[in-house]
Amino acid sequence: MIEIEDRLFLLTARHVVEAYPANTLWFPPSPGANLETFGTVSTFYDQTHPNRDTVVVELHETGLADKIRSAGYWKILTIENIVAPKSYDRSGTRLLSGYPSELGYENQVGFAQTPLVLSTKVLEPDPTPSSISVPCPDTDMFFVFDNQLEDTATSEIVVPPKLQGMSGCGIWLLLPRTGTDFWEPWQSLYLIGTQRSVLPRHWIRGVSWRAIADILQSNDVGLSNGEAVPT
């Protein structure tokens, strides 16, 4: 979720919204709260590049951003939390943060989910185009997805869960701490794209921020200063 020019947008995978229209999605404003819809929405696709699996949904409900911030549970991004593809290299750590359906469970009040934060790195080299369904070389990103991973909380080697349910989750660039400055997550984590698909034991496929920026800069969205969106 990102706020630009006092307008609130939800960023996710196109196939998610095609399966579950945005006006039917629900979310908990805070832990244990009743689920709510996002209210009235507008959905924007990239008509020029329909194979890019990304979508931008504008949330029109008055006061929604203030409600989310006051609950203190969700973080609303701004342009300052974004790094455009040309602004970073292929080294360093990438994080995927989402809610796999495999980690969901029923409890006394309904259904709960356990978040997953997956640390990975850029796959070298990229898969061959012939091995990819509908390659999009200008926005594709591929990351290592091993058969076994280390649980950083316990240092145990574990088999990763299936990532079904994480489509559209954020892909983040983690910058190392430098100098003597106090480390803060929001000064070291930058969104670089969204997750699209996965090939178990091989790779995770993502869509770079470039695809989102192209939608935000389109006339359909109508931002007054769309050129200020990093590309």
d(CA 100, CA 79): 27
Query: Residue 99 pLDDT more than 70?
Result: yes
| 101 CB neighbour count, 10 Å cutoff | 12
Residue 77: which of 199, 190, 221 has the closest Cα? 190
What are the C-alpha distances in Å from 48 to residues 26, 51, 208?
A: 29, 9, 16
pLDDT at 179: 65
So what's the pLDDT on residue 29? 75
Worst-scoring range by mean pLDDT, 7-16, 34-43, 183-192? 183-192
* Alpha-carbon separation of residue 194 from 11, 30, 40, 207 (angstroms): 8, 23, 23, 5
How many angstroms separate the CA atoms of 170 and 77, rounded? 11
Structural contact between residues 192 and 171, judged by C-beta atoms closer than 8 angstroms: yes
Q: Is 166 left (phi over 0), alpha (psi -120 to 50) or beta?
A: alpha
Q: What's the pLDDT at 75?
A: 85
For the chain, what are the domain ranges?
2-228
Domain 2-228 grouped into CATH 2.40.10: yes
pLDDT, tens digit, 9 for 90 and up, residues 135-180: 999 999 999 998 887 787 777 888 888 888 889 999 999 877 666 6
Q: Give this prediction's pTM.
A: 0.88
> How far is it, in rounded angstroms, from Cα 89 to Cα 97?
21
- Number of Cβ within 10 Å of residue 76's Cβ equals 15
The C-alpha R_g of the chain, in whole angstroms, comes to 18
Higher pLDDT, 94 or 227: 94
- Distances in whole angstroms, Cα of residue 5 to Cα of each of 64, 68, 216: 15, 17, 12
CA distance 191 to 169: 10
For residue 173, the cross-strand partners are: 94, 190
Query: Mean pLDDT in the chain?
Result: 86
Q: Tell me the helices (H) and strands (E) count for the chain, helix number first.
A: 3, 16
Checking if the pLDDT of 105 tops 90, the result is: no
